[in-house]
Amino acid sequence: MKPTICVTIGICTKNCEMTIKDCIKSVISQDYPPKYIDLVIVDGGSKDRTLSIIEEELSRISLRYKIIHESSGLGYARQSVVENALGEYIIWVDGDMVLPIDFVSKQVEFMENKPKAGIGKGKYMMCKEESLVADLENLQFVLDFRHEGKTNSKVLATSGCIYRVKAVRQVGGFDRNIKGVGEDMDIEHRIRNAGWELHITPANFCEIRRKSWKSLWSEYYWHGYGGYYLFKKNRHLIDYYKMFPPIAIAKELKKSVTAYKLFKRKIFLLLPLHYVFKRIAWFSGFVKNYVNIILKHANSRFSSC
């Protein structure tokens, strides 16, 4: 493929000073011609050195880029990238991701060869980690997205995805009202319903994971808290039956056996424990938001009396 297709790389980040340097370096090191890359960075109000690191790294190259500051949540941030995108495609990169040098080239080539594809999700790699928690989390995503081809998955997530801008704009873009998580599931659902295909592509990437059980709990508690808005908007987007303990544990036991056969590491047999831990955190956040909204409505009604 002759690389003459303009592609936008969208980075939505906040407080990623520990990982953003490697992320930006991997972006600017792509073998795709820089003149065809358009970089849009949206910072959600970082309180650490994230922005200064980004500006320092970008000052060394001539890549076209724009930095946007926002504090209205992920849906607003994603849509800000869409509205400022100059490319025919948007590749979503999180602040904790590291891309192989050919990632952009492979993603663009895949989409050019699949005109019916609205979204193409890259495959996770097993990154070198320093903790059991990070290894288990990495493994979970490696197993879930290891098979290339058309997918019916409801949860691709934006990280490592390439979006066809035409498809995004056809469905009205991201929901700006989604402040927490779920903006990806929501737009994936609408893009699929509009007749576009979703695929797992041959391109690989690495995502740096949380290294402690406490930080993993915080992450999935936040996912559950934000998931309540998505539940209210379209409860069919979340497969709750798959989270039911007997079903979830049986599924994860099977997955842990597959992981052991692939990597020959006994610690991967702990996948069911890891999964249950995350689901408890998710449900805790979900219930917390549900209770908060009930109390808010009750207080509002009481005040109006």
Query: CB–CB of 50/18 below 8 Å?
Result: no
**Tens-digit pLDDT profile for the chain (305 aa)?**
555 789 999 999 999 999 999 999 999 999 999 999 999 999 999 999 999 999 999 988 888 899 999 888 899 999 999 999 999 999 999 999 999 999 999 999 999 999 999 999 999 998 876 799 999 999 999 998 999 999 988 789 999 999 999 999 999 999 999 888 889 999 999 999 999 999 999 999 999 998 999 999 999 999 988 888 877 777 676 665 566 666 777 778 888 888 888 888 888 888 989 988 998 899 899 899 889 888 877 776 666 65
Q: How far apart are CA 234 and CA 178, in angstroms?
A: 12
Q: How far apart are CA 152 and CA 155, in angstroms?
A: 9
Q: How far apart are CA 43 and CA 50, in angstroms?
A: 9
CATH number listed for the domain at residues 7-210 = 3.90.550.10
Phi, psi (degrees; rounded to nearest 5) at 109: -60, -40
Specify the pLDDT at position 1.
53
Q: What is the pTM of this model?
A: 0.90
Specify the pLDDT at position 268.
86
Specify the pLDDT at position 198.
97
pLDDT tens digits, 30-63:
999 999 999 999 999 999 999 999 999 998 888 8
Specify the pLDDT at position 238.
67
- For 170, residues 6+ apart whose C-beta sits below 8 A from its C-beta are 191, 194
Q: Which residues pair with 163 in a beta bridge?
A: 90, 119
Specify the pLDDT at position 267.
85
- For the chain, the structural domain boundaries read 7-210, 219-304
Reduce the DSSP state of residue 53 to 3 states and report it. Answer: helix
- For 177, half-sphere exposure in the C-beta direction (CA atoms, 13 angstrom radius) is 6
Q: How far apart are CA 17 and CA 47, in angstroms?
A: 10
Amino acid in the structure at residue 298: A
Reduce the DSSP state of residue 11 to 3 states and report it. Answer: strand
Q: How far apart are CA 284 and CA 216, in angstroms?
A: 13
Phi, psi (degrees; rounded to nearest 5) at 141: -75, -35
Nearest to 49 by CA among 11, 20, 9, 12: 20
